[in-house]
Chains A and B, each alone.
Chain A
Amino acid sequence: MSTVSLRVENLRVWYRTLRGDVQALDDVTFAVADGEIMGLAGESGCGKSTLGKSLIRLDGRMRHVDGTVELDGKQLPIWDTAKMNGFRFKEVSIIPQYAMSAMNPTRKIGKMVEELLESRGVGFGAMRAELDRRLELVELSRDVLDRYPIELSGGMKQRMVMVLSTLLNPSLLIADEVTSALDVSTQKAVAETLVGFRDRGFVKSMIVITHDVSLVYQIADSIMVMYAGKLAEKAPTDVLVAAPRHPYTQLLISSLPEVGVRYADKRLTGIPGTPPSLLHPPVGCRFRDRCPLAFEKCLEEPPFVEIEPDHFVACWKAS
């Protein structure tokens, strides 16, 4: 068993709204090993992006209610934006969802990188050789440093931001829907670059957030599925796709059309109903109303337990 890199325990993050607290992330406990790429999948509003953001920066509406985050044995003060400055970019880094607009439009890219590095007390000159090497790795020419972001195409900006986010070799990298706005062929290249960053040791572990289970199936070592602010299932990639145990994961995977299959008159089925509101979440299992297997016990909340080595499920029927 490899060593644990990230350990999140009982994490609760809520959003403040005028109508009350939205319990976007409720009692989340999991670990990511050294060198592991973990795919984090779920539908919109399930809390996957909230989890990603919590590990790096809580925005003004988010409130840390409970729980701890430990990275390489050190506690991350995620509730304190100022204290997190020491960790952000150096220890934890993020490739944001809208990488296309993540760069300062008024600065040449080289200048922006220089300012960014200086703000972290690192000299640009010392990093220049490494920067050039990494640009070459993602097939960008050095000239991009003399250009403004607007002069780059979407795919080029995405690669530039990827280089930038990982420049200081952070321990943990969070990639939030980085491929969803790209064409299929570009998408594959970006996904493979992420794996390359891990293989070359630029980052130790990675959380790849996506709505597309088939994408993380291609690149991740393990997949974690979230539903309505809670963890539903986590397992090694092949196990989760071939033998999922949570009813939600099973239904989700069986509802995905694929290119390698001929359908003719076969019909796939969706999941009836909609996810519950997180303003006043229902008691017990949050998937209860849509679940074909639900029974009386589901009024109690199912714990997220390990049913086989490395396979965690939150369902009474699975354990």
Chain B
Amino acid sequence: MLKLERISKVYKVGVFGGKELTAVRDVSFDVEPGEVVSLIGESGSGKTTIGRMVLRLASVSSGAITLDGVDVSTVKGSGLKGYYRKVQGVFQDPFSSYNPIFKADRVFGMIRDQYFPEVGGTEWRHKIGASLEAVRLDPDQVLHKYPHQLSGGQLQRLLIARALLLDIKLLVADEIISMLDASTRIDVLNLLADLKARGLGILFITHDLSLGNYVSEKTVILRRGAVVEMGATELVFGNPLHPYTKKLLASVPQLHKKWEQVEAELEVRDGHAPGGDGEPTTLVEAEDGHFVARGERG
């Protein structure tokens, strides 16, 4: 469905844009319907930039993003509107995603004005009811409230419901869990799993490896804009091959294992990690569907 082919993003920085900064380097992967793909990286790894490029909020410097064979970067006007019917994003901070003086039903009303002017009142209410049910919210509890009257988890679910109104095929979820409390974040994760079962493709962007492990079929590990390892989630987490992936896994605090034990199991060594300082790497298929970056110097 969504296909990223060797995409890069170069920013001009410094005085008069004299310097170039490569935020994303040669990234390729795809998202199929009914699949959650986690994009995992630390700050500055380019994970958000990739999400923004998919959502057309940032331009692509080279490479191509296609949705069902249509190049995303060239769609304009009504084509772009059609694209946003299929692809929507939800972001990290639910408190700043809303206009504070709009009630929740007005947020939905704007979708109606933009995309469904022909839909009648009863049918529209029915539609809202269905998408709120999909995110397990009670319409009476949320519709006539201002954003500050709702909790973070409710706001995040409302944003997902808003996206569902458009019959989307792909959801870009950029750190949507990070600002939620432990006891409610699992509900939002489970919600993503339900949506996946309905055939939605989800690009799940996060810095938290345990969330990616829980929810996704496929995992892409990014470092400084380049893919260091990717493949089926159980392969990447169960049999990490790249030193950087091992280091990340060894640093995540776990609940029933201490750091020393995890480190010993993963045999983390301080050594040369390919791709460390912008050194060119190539992705090698180490086992079936499990790719890892190898340095060209060997």
Task: Flag whether A127 is at the interface (Cβ < 8 A).
Answer: no
The 8 Å CB contact of A257, one of B210, B248, B253, is: B210
Q: Is the interface of A mostly helix, strand, loop or mixed?
A: loop
List B35-61 residues whose CB lies under 8 Å from chain A. Answer: 42-43
A188 to B151, CA, bound (A): 30
List A79-131 residues whose CB lies under 8 Å from chain B. Answer: none
A191 to B252, CA, bound (A): 12
CB pair A270 B210 closer than 8 Å: no
A17 CB contacts on chain B under 8 angstroms: none
Encode B236-272 as 1/0 by CB contact (under 8 A) with A.
Answer: 0110000000011101111111110010000000000
A261 to B262, CA, bound (A): 13
Interface size of B in residues (CB-CB distance below 8 Å): 35
Task: Flag whether A214 is at the interface (Cβ < 8 A).
Answer: yes
CB pair A211 B253 closer than 8 Å: no
Instruction: In the complex, identify which listed stretch (B3-11, B78-86, B187-195) lies at the interface while the others stay far away.
Output: B187-195
List B143-191 residues whose CB lies under 8 Å from chain A. Answer: 151, 181-187, 189-190
Task: Flag whether B102 is at the interface (Cβ < 8 A).
Answer: no
CB pair A211 B182 closer than 8 Å: yes
The 8 Å CB contact of B42, one of A184, A257, A258, A262, is: A184
Task: Flag whether B290 is at the interface (Cβ < 8 A).
Answer: no
Task: Flag whether A267 is at the interface (Cβ < 8 A).
Answer: yes
The 8 Å CB contact of B207, one of A184, A211, A267, is: A184
The 8 Å CB contact of A218, one of B190, B237, B248, B253, is: B253
B234 CB contacts on chain A under 8 angstroms: 262
A263 CB contacts on chain B under 8 angstroms: 213-214
> Which partner residue on chain A sits nearest B234 by CB separation?
A262
Task: Count chain B CB atoms within 10 A of each CB in A211, A260, A261 and give the residue with the most.
Answer: A260
Task: Flag whether B90 is at the interface (Cβ < 8 A).
Answer: no
A192 to B214, CA, bound (A): 27
A251 CB contacts on chain B under 8 angstroms: 183
B256 CB contacts on chain A under 8 angstroms: 241-242, 258, 260
B187 CB contacts on chain A under 8 angstroms: 270
Interface size of A in residues (CB-CB distance below 8 Å): 35
CB pair A268 B186 closer than 8 Å: yes
Known: A183-B42, A217-B255, A241-B256. A257 touches B186 (CB 8 A): yes
Nearest chain A CB to B37 CB, angstrom units: 16
CB pair A260 B181 closer than 8 Å: no
A212 CB contacts on chain B under 8 angstroms: 182, 253
CB pair B258 A271 closer than 8 Å: no
Known: A184-B42, A252-B183, A267-B193. A259 touches B249 (CB 8 A): yes
> Which partner residue on chain A sits nearest B247 by CB separation?
A185
A188 CB contacts on chain B under 8 angstroms: 251, 253, 259
A185 to B127, CA, bound (A): 45
CB pair A258 B255 closer than 8 Å: yes
Q: How many A-B residue contacts, CB cutoff 8 Å?
A: 101
Known: A43-B181, A263-B213. A255 touches B186 (CB 8 A): yes
The 8 Å CB contact of A184, one of B186, B213, B251, is: B251
A242 CB contacts on chain B under 8 angstroms: 256
A44 CB contacts on chain B under 8 angstroms: 181
B254 CB contacts on chain A under 8 angstroms: 214, 217, 258-260
The 8 Å CB contact of B255, one of A187, A214, A267, is: A214
A185 to B253, CA, bound (A): 10
Known: A252-B182, A256-B182, A257-B189. A217 touches B253 (CB 8 A): yes
Task: Flag whether B107 is at the interface (Cβ < 8 A).
Answer: no
Nearest chain A CB to B30 CB, angstrom units: 22
A6 to B264, CA, bound (A): 36
CB pair B248 A184 closer than 8 Å: yes
> Which partner residue on chain A sits nearest B257 by CB separation?
A260
A258 to B190, CA, bound (A): 15
A151 to B254, CA, bound (A): 34
CB pair A183 B207 closer than 8 Å: yes
Known: A184-B252, A252-B182, A270-B183. A259 touches B43 (CB 8 A): no
22 contacts between A and B (CB under 8 A): A183-B42, A183-B43, A183-B207, A191-B253, A212-B182, A213-B182, A213-B255, A217-B253, A217-B254, A218-B259, A241-B256, A255-B183, A256-B210, A259-B210, A259-B237, A260-B254, A263-B213, A268-B189, A268-B214, A270-B185, A271-B183, A274-B151
8 A-B pairs with least C-beta separation: A257-B214, A183-B42, A271-B183, A214-B253, A43-B181, A270-B186, A270-B187, A188-B251
**Which residues of A pack against B, CB within 8 Å?**
43-44, 183-185, 187-188, 191, 211-215, 217-218, 241-242, 251-253, 255-263, 267-271, 274
Given contacts A217-B258, A270-B185, 5 further A-B contacts (CB under 8 A): A185-B247, A263-B213, A269-B186, A269-B190, A270-B184
